Amino acid sequence: MRQIWISRAGGPDVLEVREAPDPTPGPGEVRIAVEAAGINFADLVARTGMYQDAPPIPFVVGYEVSGTIDAVGKGVSESRVGEPVIAMCRFGGYSSMRVVPATQAARRPAGMSAIEGASIPVTYLTAWMMLRVFTRPSPGDRVFVHSAGGGVGLAALDLLIDSGCETWGSAGRSKHGFLKERGYTHVVDGHASEWPAEKMDIVLDAVGGASWAQGLDHLRAGGRLVCFGFSTMTGEKRSLLSALKGLASVPWTRINPITLMNENKGVLGVNMGHLWDEGDRVGSWLGSILELYEQGKIRPHVHAAFPFDRAAEAHSVLHRRENVGKVVLVP
């Protein structure tokens, strides 16, 4: 099989395509012939050596794949061979073959391409955790979404439209036309850190640092800030100074229980990489997401699909914030 390895900490150029033996599924596992693998911002942070959850470098990154089951282990029905699936994995997704527990491979709905399928698990499960598990917005609620043009931003929009919310999307001006057509009620300039005059019920923030303080300022009573990333801490290469500046800008004194109680506000956090012990529960969420796809209520948007040999270019697109929606890799 072919894999993309992080050979050492650094910029996108450290990604290397290597050959490796084909894996064999064990009991309760399936092997997927991967047709597409999703890229997430956590992959970029891991490549720079700044992601505390990543294995020691060198390793193969990647949280999600889409393809077809071509072999099964003991205890798994042979009828699953040939089944088109999408699957979650804890690293190792940048591979042309990936073995996962059978319970983590969900049948891909009819009409969903492998490329489209690879864009779903991390982004839509993150949005689901924020909006269906934690905040549960009601019709008419005001919701502000940072990085609205990214994969999670568009996934969140689908769920917010389904909930009947009034939405503000923050992104660079080049993305505004697309976001309005997609369904955001209002769009503001993310580079200028624009905020509406209205106070929000929910703020979804993957930027981190000082942005979290701004989010707290723009919540009304009962409002919730959901933190799901810290993109301000990292660039294309490792920078401890940038990381320290980001940490210093976190509003630490404002997120203690007493201050939150007095302000009648809440702060929540989502990290899909820490939900592996909730496999059955997360699997049920993914099933609900795929049902919404079949109902036409979610519309995954793929910005581009890059072959494995152009993985460095794919990572650079995300670093430059050029993507609208998801970027995926094709073996």
How many residues are present in the chain? 331
Residue 305 has pLDDT above 70, yes or no: yes
DSSP string, 203-242: EEESS-THHHHHHHHTEEEEEEEEE---GGG--SS--HHH
Given this structure, which CATH class describes domain 2-120+300-330?
alpha beta
Which pLDDT score is estimated for 246?
74
The structure's pTM equals 0.94
Which pLDDT score is estimated for 314?
98
- For 223, half-sphere exposure in the C-beta direction (CA atoms, 13 angstrom radius) is 20
* Contact yes or no for 99/309 (Cβ under 8 A): no
Buried-exposed string 17-48: b where 16+ CB fall within 10 A, e elsewhere: beeeeebebeeebbbbbbbbbbbbbbbbbbbb
Does domain 122-272 match CATH 3.40.50.720? yes
Domain definitions of the chain by residue range: 2-120+300-330, 122-272
Give the largest Cα separation in the chain, rounded: 59
Which pairs from 280-284 meet CB under 8 Å and 24+ separation?
A: 280/103, 282/88, 282/125, 283/103, 283/104, 283/106
Which pLDDT score is estimated for 185?
97
Using the Cα atoms of residue 151, residue 213, residue 130 and residue 42 in order, give the sign of their dihedral.
Answer: positive
- The pLDDT tens digits for 54-89 are 999 999 999 999 999 999 999 999 999 999 999 999
Q: For residue 275, what pLDDT band results from cuts at 50, 70 and 90?
A: confident
